[in-house]
Structure 1
């Protein structure tokens, strides 16, 4: 399956930033001490953490499948999981993918189901909005708890402000996409009309873009037309965060830390803000934020904190890349009657 991906100079830059962040973090943690700490991890407990952590990806794939069923996209659970993991792989290795990986995922869906691109795009963005919702409901809940306890200060103040801003922007975007007031589509159409009037050429291209905007808008309005479906599906996606909290519990047990629930809850949910950085998959920035939160909530040194960050990512992030790459190799375009899924 050929995919429209090109890293270019900006891509190389962000890969370089990721490598630099890891180098600085490992240097500060003392590489020898870090490797020693990783080698002492209990392999059985870590194996449990991997299985539990990977299940969070399957929950997000289930949300995709529910949306496919809702939007009338004909596919199987197996193919949905493979499409999701392929999208996860490409989204994670592509710089700025966290800000725009959905078009690539929509391409994968339309290329492997009998569905047009506009409908696929509306489906995948809507599903990803619901999959992102738990991070911020849990995060705001945790920050509210800290506020009541009078423990919000320093780094947590910045995280609070950023989280509230993201929730506001995300909520506004979801409303504009799913609402039937046509405000977003009308604004884009006016912009296209202004471009057409300004340059007085490419009329057929502008007309084609307007038609595509109308189709995408209709698909989004259908995707967000059932509030009960949105609530129940968002409820399902919360299971993924619970799985990640459980995974971190076993990771910390494997390196000899007896964790309490509140720090686990806060570390998993607060560190996710760092994945919104432009580095591939939030790599580097996520590990830095996670390590800082570990030292904030647990009386551990930086080497132990970085060990926890690395091992946790090995349960919830890196396995998805490996399986996602294999999944990408199994997708060969639209299924045909002659070819079994």
Structure 2
């Protein structure tokens, strides 16, 4: 019930933010821009979006292979979309959808839940790293071409800070993984024990069983982290996925007749993705706000708010709704135990 309430509040927040954007930009101006869109190029945005999903599915497939779980490319693609579906309908983006995504992986791949959780957590972490690198490349390029305003300096400062802090946290957590495992166990074991006791029809969780699952999760993480080839392949797939997203937004501008340098996409798309950590379903509302604000603030790039929003609507319409549609079907399919039979 609490999860449903949080999701409902998140969607209401998303609706309020999107209405606010439309009020500031003007719905008539937005519709005018969209009416000029080239339909064939809009379809191409969708096709490129599928390229992004295939690339990240290959990354997920690689990580699962490191853990000894073999999935076909098609199954990996469907599982990834199922994971994206759960991310897009729960607050806090990946953080909110990972438990559901892990359950989906464990059911489709017939593996332990903690192994599926380790796989999706590792993929999400690896997917984050190329975005920061690409954003720094884009920011560095622009620093040689234009003078940044206050907003953009703050955004670049955030990217630089993340480029330092995130790898440092990963390194620190890896070096102290035994301590992290113990601390996590001391928090999770009492919580899960109380939760299962409070839920009707569920036997209280066994402490040794919980400990075993936590150990299994960290063992799976260790297998992934100590496989350089697997990490390199996943990073490559992730980078191609980000590039496909950037191409999709670039084509969205092209579709409405606006000319924007591709280098802008290197910076803007990762910055928008950072907004997925907001307590909104899939970051929707926050992502659009960040994208439009940065695009309209770029000196030397002559686009208005209505043009920026029109391109973002086309872009987000693809990257948000395509995984929703495919992933929703996958989640429903798995729910009736038909997936395994149909794809075997």
Q: Is the 8 A contact 1:179 1:224 kept in 2?
A: no
Greater shift in the superposed pair: 327-336 or 295-304: 327-336
Mapped pair 1:131 → 2:127? yes
Q: Deviations over 1:275-297 (max 9, x none)?
A: 22111111011111111122123
Change (3 A) 1:192 1:40: closer
Mapped pair 1:268 → 2:292? no
- Equivalent residue in structure 2 for 1:58, among 42, 54, 62: 54
* 1:101 match: secondary structure: helix
Unaligned runs of 5+ in 1: 196-202
State the match for 1:307 in structure 2: 310
Change (3 A) 1:238 1:205: same
Greater shift in the superposed pair: 255-264 or 87-96: 255-264
Q: CA offset at residue 222 of structure 1?
A: 1.0
The root-mean-square deviation of aligned C-alpha atoms, in Å, is 2.8
State the match for 2:201 in structure 1: none
State the match for 1:322 in structure 2: 325
Change (3 A) 1:75 1:27: same
Give runs of aligned pairs for residues 159-174 of structure 1, distance below 5 A.
159-174=155-170
Mapped pair 1:106 → 2:107? no
Partners of 1:179 and 1:226 in 2: CA distance: 16
Q: CA offset at residue 108 of structure 1?
A: 0.6
Q: CA offset at residue 75 of structure 1?
A: 2.5
Q: CA offset at residue 173 of structure 1?
A: 4.6
Partners of 1:123 and 1:227 in 2: CA distance: 15
Greater shift in the superposed pair: 75-84 or 59-68: 75-84
Unaligned runs of 5+ in 2: 192-203
Q: Is the 8 A contact 2:55 2:241 kept in 1?
A: yes
Q: Is the 8 A contact 1:180 1:221 kept in 2?
A: no
Change (3 A) 1:144 1:208: same
Q: Is the 8 A contact 1:177 1:217 kept in 2?
A: no
Change (3 A) 1:206 1:192: farther
State the match for 1:255 in structure 2: 256
Q: Is the 8 A contact 2:53 2:241 kept in 1?
A: yes
Greater shift in the superposed pair: 165-174 or 254-263: 165-174
State the match for 1:89 in structure 2: 85
* 1:256 match: secondary structure: coil
Greater shift in the superposed pair: 157-166 or 73-82: 157-166
